[in-house]
Amino acid sequence: MPHTPTPHNAAHEGDFAPIVLMPGDPLRAKYIADTYLDDCRQVTAVRGMLGFTGTYKGKPVSVMGHGMGMPSIGIYSYELYHNYDVEAIIRVGSAGGYADDLQLRDVVAAQGACTDSNYAFQFNLPGTFAPIADFGMLSRAVEVAKERGVKIRVGNVLSSDVFYDGGANERAWKPMGVLATEMESAALYMNAAAAGKRALCLLTISDIPSRGLALPAEERQTSFNQMLEVALETAITC
């Protein structure tokens, strides 16, 4: 195993569980740890990117923030896979809805992640790579969601490097069946593939710009809890 700690992570060998939940916001990582994990301890806080390890229903689970965008999740997930021997990562984040039948608070499981990013350039591939989720984790998350009565859609999302795009991405990608947009899934899926590890992205629809809809800040916490609980149940049964 490569040297730990790393320049971006103060944890030592063995500090992370084999499976890690990753929200973008480090404070949401703290919320997940405080709300759901038992015997929890903080294992890193470099640059304010908080990470915790504890147990959920007796099973070891870690949670750590990944920041915004593909370069950020690219660094943190790479180190978890390669330096800390993490086997699986579940990104738990928000997304902007594209599909006409999506509503606020719906959960989307990213089966695949289209992207406008050049992240795959580093792998020197002679073509276009299609970043996809681990099928076992994906199918289990769908089962868990159905068992808990959580509405879930499965399909393609767009991982974009651009947040303020004036609606251009939706106009281009929605006709291709892309369900929603976010900024990290493609990089995570590529890192998992390159490392021979597993990854899944679960996303709560927090806004639908074309319809002028968005969850108020005070409602996001409760809405995200459904997704978090699906992710945690998936984590301990995959």
Residue 207 annotated in active site: yes
Q: What is the DSSP letter of 101?
A: T
User: What is the spatial distance between Cα 147 and Cα 64, in angstroms, rounded to a whole number?
Assistant: 27
Q: Which residues pair with 96 in a beta bridge?
A: 181, 207
Is the preceding omega at residue 5 within 30 degrees of 0, hence cis? Answer: yes
Helix (H, G, I), strand (E, B) or coil at 200: strand
CA-based nearest residue to 106, from 91, 94, 120: 94
**d(Cα 154, Cα 106) in Å, to the nearest integer?**
11
- 238 Cβ contact partners less than 8 Å away, ≥ 6 residues apart: 19, 88, 136, 137, 140, 198
Tokens matching residue 13: 């060998």
Calpha distance 13→119 (Å, rounded): 28
Q: Which positions are catalytic?
A: 207
